[in-house]
Amino acid sequence: MGSVMRMDSWDLTTLDIEVHKPKVLRSDADAARAIAINLPAGDKLQEHEVHEHAYVTVVSGEIEVEAGGTTETGGAGSVFHFEPHERHEVRATSDARFLLLLAPWTGPGRDAEGNRA
């Protein structure tokens, strides 16, 4: 039987995440990519889409998410899901930290390094 890899863990409430510099926590080919984001109040991730399913889990603060003409607000513990290529925008209504999970990584339309193919 092969060796078992050790578990990874992060405390997203205290992790040093620079503003406007998402921190890739883990990226596994054919699995998922986990990214921690620190978004100050009033800032946003402008409308965009990704090739993968996208899951946004709010760790602290509050965000507004707009997709398909609908706007939802969520605080710590809220989870949002977007289908591949679903356009969406994320706005911080207060200083916010959230975990972005992209799966499967890499999705159709990306190369092995995650660049658009």
Could you read off the pLDDT tens digit of each residue along the chain, which spans 117 residues? 567 778 999 999 999 999 989 999 999 888 999 999 999 999 999 999 998 999 999 999 999 999 999 999 999 999 999 999 999 999 999 999 999 999 988 766 666 666 666
What does pTM read for this prediction? 0.86
What is residue 117's predicted lDDT score, i.e. its pLDDT? 64
What is residue 108's predicted lDDT score, i.e. its pLDDT? 63
What are the structure tokens assigned to 70, written together? 């609908």
CA separation for the pair 95, 40 (Å, rounded)? 4
Q: What is the separation of C-alpha 46 from the centre of its chain, rounded to a whole number of angstroms? A: 14
What is residue 114's predicted lDDT score, i.e. its pLDDT? 62
Distances 11 to 35, 56, 63, 75 between C-alpha atoms, Å: 13, 16, 20, 17
CA separation for the pair 65, 68 (Å, rounded)? 10
What are the structure tokens assigned to 14, written together? 């205290």
Q: Are 65 and 92 in contact (CB under 8 A)?
A: no
What is residue 110's predicted lDDT score, i.e. its pLDDT? 64
Helix residue ranges per DSSP H, 16-63: none
The CATH classification number of 24-103 equals: 2.60.120.10
